[in-house]
Structure 1
Amino acid sequence: MILAFKRSRLLTFICGGLLFLLSHLSLVAQEPAVPFSVVTIQDISFGAFFQGSSGGTVTVSPDGTRLLSGDMIVANVSGFSYYPAIYELEAEPGTLVFILKGSDTGMSRSNGGSISLQVGDSEPGFPIIVPPSGRIQVRMGGILTMENPQANSSGDYSGSLEVTFIQE
């Protein structure tokens, strides 16, 4: 009997201690964190252009301007606009976001040929700080590099940019 009494008293003391701790514990509810997400709003386009007898580059900047260098010729053809890629980031306000640019990639066409595609600059530059709204648009440019008409025949080329957004 004495052993049972001591156990009962010990349980009462422990339960009383827990009740005391719980009565002084305050809970604070916090809104769930905004998940980090990236949505492609617009893919990059380099528009229409002609290549002369040697190579060159076509650059589309984040602000939407296009610059041709080397032996490249502007073609103002209706329906072939040029513009940067646009991504919309959503994250907790104040989150720092860094951009990791992928290596140069090849763009190809169905009848053969390839050209080099390099990820260009971004606007805003990085690190990006997510504003109080929790959303921000990032504009990315790119650079196409062509060697010569024999290696890079005329036509539609397709490929992909590799861009990684890292939140801190």
Structure 2
Amino acid sequence: MIFSGIFLKSGIRVFVWTVLLLLTHLFVSAQQQPPRPVTIYVNPSQGLIFGAFFQGLSGGTVIIYPDGSRTVTGSIVQANLGFPFSPAIFEIDANPGTLITIMNGPDVTLSGSNGGFLQLHVGASSTGSPFIATAVPPARTLVRIGGTLIVGSPLANPAGSYSGSFLVTFIQE
């Protein structure tokens, strides 16, 4: 009899603990899943393109803004010879609400097809930094980044096609 009394008390305890655990489950919520890593897509045909321009004796700058507009300073003259100009366009695949910071790399030197070098300073982005991804996948958040091309005299920077690459880092927070 003593053995069955202990078993009965033990069975009641198990039942009570089970009920308490079930009730506790109603009030406890789990932590949300960690964010998935962002994916950056770069379209090679949508790179930072400065188009055609003529340089004067003193040089100057060619500036591409994130909105796609272009301005020049110094003795540079814009030319519309059928060569496009545009900001670099990146597509960001991220969960909506993801906080992303853009960190531009250092200035880079572009090499010319006829000799010479130009300096490129990576500019501002269309979203600002940091920004919050808003597109719901499969759509992507577009980020446009402009830049400033520093052009010297014709002797230092002969006419031709200049190319190079620049670094932009997207940091998910």
Q: How far is 1:132 from its partner?
A: 5.3
Q: CA RMSD in A?
A: 2.6
Q: Which residue of 2 aligns with 1:38?
A: 40
Q: Which residue of 2 aligns with 1:101?
A: 104
Q: Which residue of 2 aligns with 1:82?
A: 85
TM-score, normalised relative to structure 2: 0.77
Deviations 1:28-48 (A, max 9, x none): 7x7784331111132111000
- Give the conservation status (yes or no) of the 8 Å contact 2:135–2:141: no
Q: Which moved more, 1:54-63 or 1:131-140?
A: 131-140
Q: Which residue of 1 aligns with 2:4?
A: none
| Aligned partner of residue 55 in structure 2, secondary structure | strand
Gaps of 5+ in 2: 1-13
Q: Which residue of 1 aligns with 2:155?
A: 150
Deviations 1:52-97 (A, max 9, x none): 111100000000100011010111102x111111101111221111
| Aligned partner of residue 70 in structure 1, secondary structure | coil
Pair 1:52-2:60 in alignment: no
Deviations 1:119-167 (A, max 9, x none): 0111011111011515310000010001211110000000112111111
Deviations 1:94-127 (A, max 9, x none): 1111111111100002331000001011101111
Gaps of 5+ in 1: 1-16
Deviations 1:2-59 (A, max 9, x none): xxxxxxxxxxxxxxx9xx88xx58697x778433111113211100001011110000
Q: Which residue of 2 aligns with 1:131?
A: 134
The structure with the greater share of residues assigned to strand is 1
How far apart are the structure 1 equivalents of 2:161 and 2:150?
15
How far apart are the structure 1 equivalents of 2:101 and 2:34?
23
Distance 1:32 1:97, change over 3 A: closer
Pair 1:61-2:65 in alignment: yes
TM-score, normalised relative to structure 1: 0.79
- Give the conservation status (yes or no) of the 8 Å contact 2:102–2:129: yes
Q: Which residue of 1 aligns with 2:113?
A: 110
How far apart are the structure 1 equivalents of 2:124 and 2:99?
18
Identity of aligned residues (%): 47
Amino acid in the other structure paired with 1:157: Y
Runs (4 or more) in structure 1 with deviation over 6 Å come to: 25-28
